[in-house]
Amino acid sequence: MRAYILGIDIGTGSTKAVAVNFEGKPIGESQFYYPISNPKPGYQEQNPFQILEAFKNCITSIINKIGESPIAISFSCAMHTLIPVDKDCWPLAEMMTWADYRSESIAERIRTGNEGELLYRACGTPIHAMSPLCKIIWLRENIHDLFVNTYKFISIKEFIWHYLFNEFEVDYSIASSSGLFNILDLNWDTKACELAGITSNQLSNLVKTTYLRDKIVHKALNELNLNPNTKFVIGASDGCCANLGSDTILAGTAALTIGTSGAVRITGKKPIYNFNSMTFNYLLNNQTYVSGGAINNGGIVFKWLVNTFTNENTKTGEDAYNSALNQIKNIAVGSDDLVFLPYLYGERAPIWDTKSCGVFFNIKPSHTSAHFLRAGLEGICYALFDVLTTIETSSAPIKQLNISGGFINSPIWVQILADITGKRLSIVQTEDASAIGAIYLAMEALDISIPKNENLESIEPDMNNHQQYNQAFKLFKLLYTNLKDTMHLINR
């Protein structure tokens, strides 16, 4: 018998399952994709049933591959989703993803109002359109019938959990990314609920992240072809799970991810507040906070750079990335003073400016398309360094960054990041760190000892390059400060 635990990461573009044995070794994985729709500017929606289907497919395909049911299944999940549902958990509208910005002006109103900072300190979530708090207010102000008819406002994780157990339950971690949960009292926040115009009865029952259940409903048991003894652990949000899964629990380490977007996160016993940069504070468990900042403009901008500044259109995916990266090898550190602000999709931390935009500055005739590519990568790394320095000023110094995400496939990009930040980088976990973190929560719940992560590879910074990048970073900051008003003028 092959005893294993299944970690399921419900992401924005796909759901991924990773099967790990009790020694911590991955023994199988599966992944199923689903579409995202943008029906109007600022809207980003998904169909909850398509995500549920991917979830079911992940489980059945793993069981088919391995030939056994897992001992337990545990969850990691994308944050800030919102689905208004009726009593039977039937969606009354499509799901809004984290990237749905339709409530932008509501967020602005709350942020600049009298209660903005108090609310941020109580609930830990940046006051931003991504927050379910702002999304609920948008529904109340714009589709009142739907708002009035909603029995509960839930996330995609609660939707899937309800399919399994016919119960409305949510873990502290996903709740802490809603903007409605008091991260100090560990309860729904009365003020935030008042502001949303709802009562806490319209939200799910709160449980800790190691909460365990078995005996799934008959329909799900049959559809998933599971052993009836399989246990389910509710787990946490993807950011919190990723810190756990990449060993970023110790003081002095931070997790840094560049996937489609990007983030820097540390783990601590207290929240880290910074109202201007609105660091987030999400709960991994009852006393552990994962704090940090997320950027919009990560790998998605690199993808744009490759499409725009190379003629790699004939190639796809990895091939296009690799040959684009080959071209920048001979370009000097600092791209011969070509500076790039990567804010193509507006930006979250630390500038929180939806009207910011992308900029190439100081273009000279000597600059080639390869300079634009290198300056592009440097700009993405400066944006993350900006978040890192903000976190460092409010916490202890960070010595090591545990890195993950698609960019780790590129040694040159990874070295640029090491040189810009001046930190040692460590690749701790190549499998999906969020799914692994969910598995560790299941191991804790089941009292199985958590295996030690192996450090796969370390990358040291070149401190001479770091000195040079420090000067360029000052220019990067100055450039945004000086251009901000003009960006707002053109994007008003």
C-beta neighbour count of 449 within 10 angstroms: 9
User: Which residues of 11-150 form beta strands (DSSP E)?
Assistant: 14-21, 26-33, 45-46, 72-77, 83-85, 95-96
Q: Which range touches ligand ADP (CB under 6 A), out of 28-36, 88-96, 244-252, 407-415? A: 407-415
Contacts of 193 (CB under 8 A, 6+ apart): 180, 199, 200, 203
Residue 410 binds ligand ADP, judged by CB under 6 A: yes
Among 300, 333, 425, 428, binds ligand ADP (CB under 6 A): 300
Contacts (CB under 6 A) with ligand ADP, residues 40-59? none
Residue 407 binds ligand ADP, judged by CB under 6 A: yes
Q: Which range touches ligand ADP (CB under 6 A), out of 132-140, 165-173, 212-220, 403-411? A: 403-411
Give the C-alpha separation, 211 to 192, whole Å.
25
Among 299, 350, 376, 379, binds ligand ADP (CB under 6 A): 299
Residue 309 binds ligand ADP, judged by CB under 6 A: no
C-beta neighbour count of 201 within 10 angstroms: 11
Q: Which range touches ligand ADP (CB under 6 A), out of 98-106, 286-294, 404-412, 416-424? A: 404-412
Give the C-alpha separation, 360 to 56, whole Å.
45
Q: Which range touches ligand ADP (CB under 6 A), out of 100-108, 226-234, 296-304, 353-361? A: 296-304
Residue 98 binds ligand ADP, judged by CB under 6 A: no
Tell me which H or E stretch contains 284. strand 280-285
Contacts (CB under 6 A) with ligand ADP, residues 6-25? 13
Contacts (CB under 6 A) with ligand ADP, residues 360-379? none
Rounded to a whole number of angstroms, the minimum distance from the CB of residue 380 to ligand ADP is 9
Give the SS3 label for residue 402.
strand
User: Which residues of 191-261 form beta strands (DSSP E)?
Assistant: 205-207, 212-213, 231-237, 253-258
Q: Which residues pair with 400 in a beta bridge?
A: 253, 424
Residues 318-337, one symbol each (x = binds ligand ADP by CB under 6 A, - = not), give x--xx---------------
Q: Is 416 exposed, middle or buried (0-12, 13-18, 19+ CB in 10 A)?
A: buried
Q: Single out the residue of 395, 401, 376 nearest to residue 321, CA to CA.
A: 376
Rounded to a whole number of angstroms, the minimum distance from the CB of residue 341 to ligand ADP is 18
Give the C-alpha separation, 389 to 255, whole Å.
14
Rounded to a whole number of angstroms, the minimum distance from the CB of residue 469 to ligand ADP is 20
C-beta neighbour count of 454 within 10 angstroms: 9
Q: Which range touches ligand ADP (CB under 6 A), out of 45-53, 199-207, 212-220, 298-306? A: 298-306
Rounded to a whole number of angstroms, the minimum distance from the CB of residue 412 to ligand ADP is 9
Whether the Cβ atoms of residue 302 and residue 376 lie closer than 8 Å to each other: yes
Residue 302 binds ligand ADP, judged by CB under 6 A: yes
Among 24, 406, 422, 451, binds ligand ADP (CB under 6 A): 406
Residue 303 binds ligand ADP, judged by CB under 6 A: yes
Residue 259 or 451 having the CB closest to ligand ADP: 259
Among 24, 259, 422, 451, binds ligand ADP (CB under 6 A): 259
Q: Single out the residue of 357, 478, 368, 463 nearest to residue 419, CA to CA.
A: 463
Strand order in the sheet with 72-77: 26-33, 14-21, 4-10, 72-77, 231-237, 212-213
Which bin fits 44, alpha (ψ -120 to 50), beta or left (φ > 0)?
beta
Rounded to a whole number of angstroms, the minimum distance from the CB of residue 421 to ligand ADP is 18
Q: Which range touches ligand ADP (CB under 6 A), out of 22-30, 45-53, 315-323, 456-464? A: 315-323
Contacts (CB under 6 A) with ligand ADP, residues 445-484? none
Q: How many residues bind ligand ADP (CB under 6 A)?
A: 16
Whether the Cβ atoms of residue 134 and residue 110 lie closer than 8 Å to each other: yes
Q: What is the DSSP letter of 43?
A: -
Shortest-Cβ-distance residue relative to ligand ADP: 406
Q: Which range touches ligand ADP (CB under 6 A), out of 217-225, 336-344, 402-410, 464-472? A: 402-410
Rounded to a whole number of angstroms, the minimum distance from the CB of residue 304 to ligand ADP is 9
Give the C-alpha separation, 418 to 424, whole Å.
6
Residue 37 or 409 having the CB closest to ligand ADP: 409
Q: Which residues pair with 14 in a beta bridge?
A: 33
Backbone angles phi, psi at 93, to 5 degrees: -160, 170
Q: Which range touches ligand ADP (CB under 6 A), out of 19-27, 55-63, 236-244, 314-322? A: 314-322
Residues recorded for the chain: 492
Question: Crossing angle of helices 317-327/369-394, nearest 10°?
Answer: 100
Rounded to a whole number of angstroms, the minimum distance from the CB of residue 273 to ligand ADP is 27
Among 405, 437, 442, 472, binds ligand ADP (CB under 6 A): 405
Contact positions vs ligand ADP (CB under 6 A): 13, 259-260, 299-300, 302-303, 318, 321-322, 405-407, 409-410, 413
